[in-house]
Amino acid sequence: MPEICRFFGIIVSMNYDDHPPPHFHVRYGEQKAIILIESLALDRGSLPPRAMGMVLEWALIHKEELIRNWYLAIEHKPLNKIKPLE
């Protein structure tokens, strides 16, 4: 699962040829979550509230880049790194 961003101990990645709807995977320590790109809703898993807040803030800023990466992943093309939250 290619990593597309890392910030404050949060790792964001996408799978190649993953199931719809468009989403990304997040790991923070032992916790994992799947976030839907369009709605930025939690699909599965859980994160601590502070980590979830940072992920959602980051995803809102980079929503278009996330969508572009989703379509690259479907086509098995290299994914672009996305700037971390600062």
Which string of b and e fits 29-58 if b means at least 16 CB within 10 Å?
eeeebebbbeeeebeeeebeeebbebbeeb
In tens, the pLDDT along 8-39 reads: 999 999 999 899 999 999 999 999 999 999 99
The pLDDT of residue 9 is 98
In the chain, where are the structural domains located? Answer: 3-74
What gap in Å lies between CA 77 and CA 51, rounded to an integer? 29
**Overall pTM > 0.75:** yes
Q: Are 45 and 32 in contact (CB under 8 A)?
A: yes
